[in-house]
Amino acid sequence: MNVVIRKANEHDFPVVLSLIKEFAVFQKTPAKVTITLEEMIKAKNVFLCLVAEVDKAIVGFATFFFAYYSWAGKGLYLDDLYVTEAFRKQVIGKTLLDTVIDIAKAEQCKKVRWQVSTWNTNAIDFYKKMGAAIDATDINCDFNLKTSIENMA
């Protein structure tokens, strides 16, 4: 199996959006996906995404952005990494993650950070095997600007 990892382009966005929605269902949170294809296209200059292709079909993706951590310095935040079920356990996820890590190294980042759901033991085991430290100390906080503004009105 030949896996190609490459930067996503605007033509890939419909498939990537479909995979984002599939991932949200896997995460048991489909209602949280509010992004539209039009918004992705409008933000294409800041939407950093890699896709994994097998036989020219996109079977996975990784989205990320650069951040600055006050305790560590420049970093890369891996927002989502997803591989369709039929292609899991075939090194595609590892290849995507390795590519993200290589990008972080090339950009002289101090670390790569991401989240994993506490119930997703397969992913936790995978990340531990990759050498990641799993920190159960932090709790995520989201302040949704659109919802907050609507509630204030």
Catalytically annotated residues: 127
Q: Say what the alpha-carbon torsion angle 50, 27, 119, 142 is, to the nearest 10 degrees.
A: 80
Q: Give the separation between CA 142 and CA 153, rounded to whole angstroms.
A: 20
Do the Cβ atoms of 18 and 61 come closer than 8 Å? no
Burial of 12-40, coded b for 16+ CB within 10 Å and e otherwise, reads bbeebbebbeebbeeeeeeeeeeeeeeeb
